[in-house]
Amino acid sequence: MRVSILRTGEESYRFVWSFHHILMDGWCLFLIVGEAFNTYFAILEDRKPELVPVTPYSEYIEWLERQDKAEAERFWS
């Protein structure tokens, strides 16, 4: 993933955000871009960004470990 801010004039800039499609799909791209712009506009308005609490990745791993591995193998075979 790459993010660049390019100055194109005295008071103008371009924001370039590129990424490989394996990093983000349409669903998460919508969420991430929304969060980025909401944060940007909050900073412009001199207020603290309101970020949604995130679920720790460790909880996802715990959920995975509780799944029936035999059932998953039957499903995917």
Does residue 7 form part of some domain? no
What's the Cα-to-Cα distance from 28 to each of 18, 34, 59, 70, rounded to whole Å?
14, 10, 19, 30
The two tokens of residue 63 are: 């959920």
2 is a domain residue: no
User: Which residue segment(s) compose the domain that 76 sits in?
Assistant: 24-77
What pLDDT is recorded for position 8? 97
How does pLDDT run across 53-64, given as a tens digit for each residue?
999 999 999 999
HEC string of 14-70 equals EEEEECCCCCCCHHHHHHHHHHHHHHHHHHHCCCCCCCCCCCCHHHHHHHHHCCCHH
| 73 within some domain | yes
Percentage above 70 pLDDT, the chain? 100
Residue 19 falls within a domain, yes or no? no
16 lies in some domain: no
pLDDT band at 52 (very low <50, low <70, confident <90, very high): confident
Q: What is the mean pLDDT of the chain?
A: 93
Domain count, the chain: 1
Q: Is residue 8 part of a domain?
A: no
Mean pLDDT of 24-53: 91
